[in-house]
Amino acid sequence: MSRLRAATAALVVVALVTGCGGATPATPAGHQVVRVAAAADLKFALEEVAAVLAKADPPMRLQTTYGSSGTFFQQISNGAPFDVYLSADLSYPTRLAEAGLAAPQDVFDYAVGRLVLWVPHDSPVDLSKGLAAVADPAVGKVAIANPEHAPYGKAAVAAMRSAGVYERVQSRLVLGENVAQAAEFAASGNAGASVIALSLALAPQLADRGQHVEVPLESFPRLNQGGVVLAGVADRAAALRLREFLTGDDGTAILKRYGFYLPGS
């Protein structure tokens, strides 16, 4: 890898992983604040949402941590202090409500996720073959999110099984902690391909460096994505306002730009 390419890849990695935690800046007076645990596929879409809400009246600041939905489910079950949980799998928020950690009426669906095979522009992979292309050992490592706790990882495994390639690829899989890290592995050259969320592949940070083909929706369980306002919310009015934005016209327009289908579609 050339120095220029390596430097560019490093910038992509920074873009993908930034926002996964760290110090929280002071909030100006008059701003609403919502602490959000968000599935990693939402990273770029939610950044747009945050930018709009920051200019709204009253301004709202999202303190967002990105990760895998299953990991957040465990953390919230153990008392992690979040106001809103945006999962890539609606069953997790539903289970939190069943456990008394949220009110059932505060669970909502906001999107349906889509899956793609992504490769760098200089990849020899023939995307016209779809997932069948990764059966070729010349592809090298294939990155997916960890299926133990990441919905997009579970979907990737199901899709590869449906395509009849999972057994031929299994030994070459590299597992990201979440779907954004799986994308990072391929974007940085540490994997020859990745099976990731369309929402990440459409972001300029990845679209400028690679190409993708969509995985047929019928080849994996539907990625019904949902959220919940949690029982320990610090500012309930602000959290409900975020929910209303995400499910309203402005929020759904942003989600659609990143390739999400809307609930019921």
Q: Which positions make up the binding site?
A: 69, 179
Q: Which long-range contacts (CB under 8 A, 24 or more apart) does 15-20 make?
A: 15/205, 16/43, 16/180, 16/181, 16/183, 16/184, 16/187, 16/200, 16/205, 17/180, 17/181, 17/184, 19/43, 19/47, 19/64, 19/65, 19/66, 20/65, 20/66, 20/67
- The residue type found at 208 is D
- The residue type found at 212 is H
Task: Reduce the DSSP state of residue 164 to 3 states and report it.
Answer: coil
The number of C-alpha atoms within 13 Å of 185 and in the hemisphere containing its C-beta is: 24
CA dist 48 and 54 (Å) reads: 10
Residue positions forming the annotated binding site for molybdate: 69, 179
Tokens encoding 189: 């050259």
Q: Nearest to residue 255, comparing CAs of 215, 217, 225?
A: 225
Tokens encoding 38: 């968000």
CA distances, 76 to each of 17, 127, 130, 136, 228 (Å) = 21, 39, 37, 41, 11
